[in-house]
Amino acid sequence: MAYEDGDHARAALLHDLLRSRSLLFSEFEHKLKTSFSVIAGWAETLTSQWDTLGEKERQLGVESLARKAAEVVEQANALLEKTQAELATLESDRAVVDLAAMARANAEVYAAVTAAHEFDYDGPEAAPVVVDAAALDQVIGLLLENAIKYSPAGTTVQLRVVRQREHVELAVVDAGLGIPTDVDIWAPFVRGAEAEREAPGTGIGLYVVRNLVRAMRGDVAAYRNPEGGSTFVVRLPPA
């Protein structure tokens, strides 16, 4: 695909945004793991050695559990508050954005980031929507990260854009685990049992996706593909 100077600039910007977002969630995940390690350790100690521990040790364990649990709640609330603050600014930043161009640019960026997956775009040359550009970029990025995380190496992630009368539709199709049936995938900090076994994560990505899309007056849905994998469909208001 031929790129103009503006496309190269956008690709560079998307790469920087990807790195910044990855660092944010990596830091949050590290903090959670540290707190949960302490909680799990004390829980095991108190459960297995309660009768042999002294009163002071028991008290120390209970206080440590309470303190770390409070830290987890504080960290989670801080992240959610940050997300809500970002959502509050979206209404004033709505503008006409080319969804097709942004989808292709993201595909190029992620193809450069990972060599384990192929990325295929199918859709029109242009598909204008009325959204917040930064929020839309984040939505596409999170969906692609999700597809990469749960899809086997060597598979293809497809981005399909379709212009409808009442909305413009973006579908991200992968060949991964498929939508879990045991949890609400849109709830914060929730992950399916198979996802927990296969890949690390915080369970916050799809929660952010749904909130960003709704803030842009759009809608998002997810489907389990009959042949395996998942399809995430984002519908946005057309220009």
Prediction pTM value: 0.66
Give 38-48 pLDDT, tens digit per residue.
Answer: 888 888 889 89
Question: What is the CA 84 to chain-centroid distance, rounded?
Answer: 15
Give 180-218 pLDDT, tens digit per residue.
Answer: 887 888 877 666 666 656 666 667 788 888 888 988 899
Tokens representing 48 are 């297995």
Q: Taking each helix axis from N to C terminus, what angle separates 205-215 and 133-150, rounded to the nearest 10 degrees?
A: 150
**Sequence-ordered list of residues with C-beta below 8 angstroms from that of 166, at least 6 positions apart, any chain:** 238
Separation between Cα atoms, residue 176 and residue 153, nearest integer Å: 10
pLDDT tens for the chain, residues 1 to 239: 344 455 555 455 445 545 555 555 666 667 777 788 888 888 888 989 999 999 999 999 899 888 888 888 777 776 666 666 555 555 557 899 999 999 999 999 998 888 889 999 999 999 999 998 988 998 999 999 999 988 899 999 999 999 998 999 999 999 988 888 878 888 776 666 666 566 666 677 888 888 889 888 999 999 999 988 999 999 999 99
